[in-house]
Amino acid sequence: MKKLWLACAVICLFVSAGNRAGADDVRNVDRVVLNGRQIVWLQSPVLDDGYLLLPADFIEHRLGLSIQPTDQPNEWLIRGFGAALKVAAGRKAYYLNDQACTAPLAPRLLNGSLYVPAQLLATLCDLSFEVKADNGITTCALYVPGANVTGIRHGVADSHCRVVIDLDAATPFLWDQEANKIVIQIPGPAQKSADFDMLQVLNYQGPVPCKVTRSCTTDSFTRIVITHQPAQSQRLFTLGEKPRIVIDLQRPSPPAVSQAPAAKPSLEPQPQPSPPEIAPWTLRAFTTPRGPLRVFVLKTNPAADNVEVRPALAGPTIRRRASVQRIAARMGAVAAINGGYFAAQGSPLGWLVIDGEWIKAPMYGRTAIGFWPDGRLRMGNVTFAGSVELPNGTKLRLEGINQGATDANGIVLYTWRWGRVLAGDRSKTRLVLDDDGRVMVKEVYGRPVEFPRSGCVLSASGRSAMLLQAVNRGDIIKVRLGTEQGWVGVKHALGAGPRLVLDGKPCVTATVERFKADVHGGLSPRSAIGFTRDGTVILAVVEPAAPDVKGVTLDELATIMAKLGAWQAMNLDGGGSSTAVARNGKVINQPGDGRARLVSNAIVVIPKASTPPARE
């Protein structure tokens, strides 16, 4: 191991000497080659003062090492084939198998992502490298010894099945994951076994039936593809006593019990829905005066692609938060992006309708997007027009839904999305209504009230509270939810803003929608949603591609969305919330906080045959 460290140090000194001019600036490597194969990855390695640093995602998926944060801030544990490396951003001290060591260069956080010096990784796995510049193109060549696959095994447990790939040596490898497929590519060694180029197909049964295909690529990599039924989760790791790669496929969770009557059994075979074929995320490059941007773009036409684009909450109630990745997994999504704004405790800020259920009311007349059952899309400024009609015909304005009261004489409607109980308040009069608007409970003494299984609670202050005190149990109250702009029959709606594109042209309405100047002109990673004239939905996440870029303004985001073909577009929550999740459940961008922020809601792309989670 010491000899290997020395060899890599010599290589890095060569790199440093060859790139000393301007070496104080971190710059991207243009081309990466592993054992002669060019590696394509969204995040490229970088050079820092002549030293090579590799990003966390590259380390995990292009070297086969696992990376997990520890309970200490900005500290990670990197594992591979039984060895462990503990590193921290900005700290040269590290631990190799619990032995304290010091590196010449500390790991770094760039755009929120961990970058680790290749020298440190060389202490963990058999890796060497060199960096060369030719005609302005910087190429990083990585070399690993490779390994022969000596066997593929399968095991079954109650909750999962396990596939084990036995190797004759520990070596870095490449792997990628899709919805029902894991692809592993292992570099071949200098001395290949007699069965190195074997073609092998294995079918296994168990909690998660799977098929394993082994083949050889033209550039001497062993390619192993594990195809399985969509499972709740997959886990890949390595063991080192006898080098092997282990893949656990978890059994899917049983579906939620539906309250609908059971269907009569049929003797006819039932057709199974095919997985949706949607366009994958693509990576586009844009440039600002400050430097380059990465723009992750997904375009899908719900009618043609047999998918539904819809908002989704982090949990059953509005005061839950979760990562976009977790929301996507919960919804069975093939793609997802973060949604609208939310308060610190998790409650969405802005209009939110899911499956026709009003969860939050429009806010400040801001821009919203609406989805109708027939596939129609609409984007516009929306103002709440809810009302309450008492038994004597008196009509009162409804202030909002599932929010704290701001009007001293207002009425707020609460639903089960608020929680199990609405806390007591002596200044309020509360009426519990069933689905028909019939008064079931009248509370005037400030005691807590429980939410009905269906129905709602009206909470009134000031003069409105005095009017509700005249209502009796059994009376009917008419509650109307709507907007001044119509939007009748909308199935899903999400408010965020401001508007970015109007009829194909950039049009930022931040001032009209009461956004502060720093939101409008500040530099930040951003997310947006739009649609074309033919109904193709466009999801986009924009992030800096260089350390000094920081992000984009709303005007720049509007220009990007227009260039992507949006006929209408609006801004979503951004900054550390900006997250793009692919079909395989992987976050493909680099969230601004370094980790995926927990959010209140997301926009998901799900198969039309999928059943949303039942009420929890």
The answer to whether residues 197 and 164 belong to one domain is yes
Q: Tell me how many domains the chain contains.
A: 4
Question: Locate tokens 């069933």: which residue?
Answer: 434
Residue 425 has which token pair? 């308040």
33 and 135 together in one domain: yes
Is the same domain home to 549 and 447? Answer: no
Rounded (10°) CA dihedral 553, 558, 561, 567: 160
Spacing of C-alpha 521 from chain mean position: 25
Q: What is the DSSP string of 14-57?
A: HHHHHT-TTTTS-EE-SEEEETTEEEP-SS--EEETTEEEEEHH
Which of 480, 515, 533 is the last residue before a domain boundary? Answer: 480
Residue 174 belongs to a domain: yes
Same domain, 459 and 578: no
Is residue 272 included in any domain, yes or no?
Answer: no
Are residue 130 and residue 162 in the same domain, yes or no? no
pLDDT score for 18: 34
Give the range of the structural domain holding residue 441, as residue numbers without chain letter.
Answer: 387-480
pLDDT digits (tens, 9 = 90+) for 543-584: 998 878 889 999 999 999 999 999 999 999 999 899 999 988
**Residue 176 binned pLDDT confidence (cut-offs 50, 70, 90):** confident
Residue 516, CA atoms < 13 Å, CB-side half-sphere = 3
Are the beta carbons of 580 and 592 closer than 8 angstroms? no
- For residue 34, the domain's CATH number is 3.30.457.10
> pLDDT tens across 17-40, in order?
333 333 346 888 888 999 999 887
What average pLDDT does the structure give for the chain?
A: 85
Calculate the CA 312 to chain-centre distance: 12
User: Is residue 510 within 8 Å of 519, Cβ to Cβ?
Assistant: yes
Q: Is the peptide bond before 316 cis (omega within 30 degrees of 0)?
A: no
Instruction: State the greatest distance between any 2 C-alpha atoms of the chain, in Å, as a whole number.
Output: 91
> How far is it, in rounded angstroms, from Cα 446 to Cα 440?
16
Tell me, what's the pLDDT at 453?
A: 77
**Amino acid 172: pLDDT:** 95
- What's the CA dihedral at 284, 279, 530, 379 to 10 degrees? 180
- The pLDDT tens digits of the residues spanning 219-230 come to 999 999 999 876
Q: Whole-prediction pTM value?
A: 0.57
572 within some domain: yes
Q: Do 120 and 223 have their domain in common?
A: no
Nearest to 372 by CA among 315, 302, 297: 302
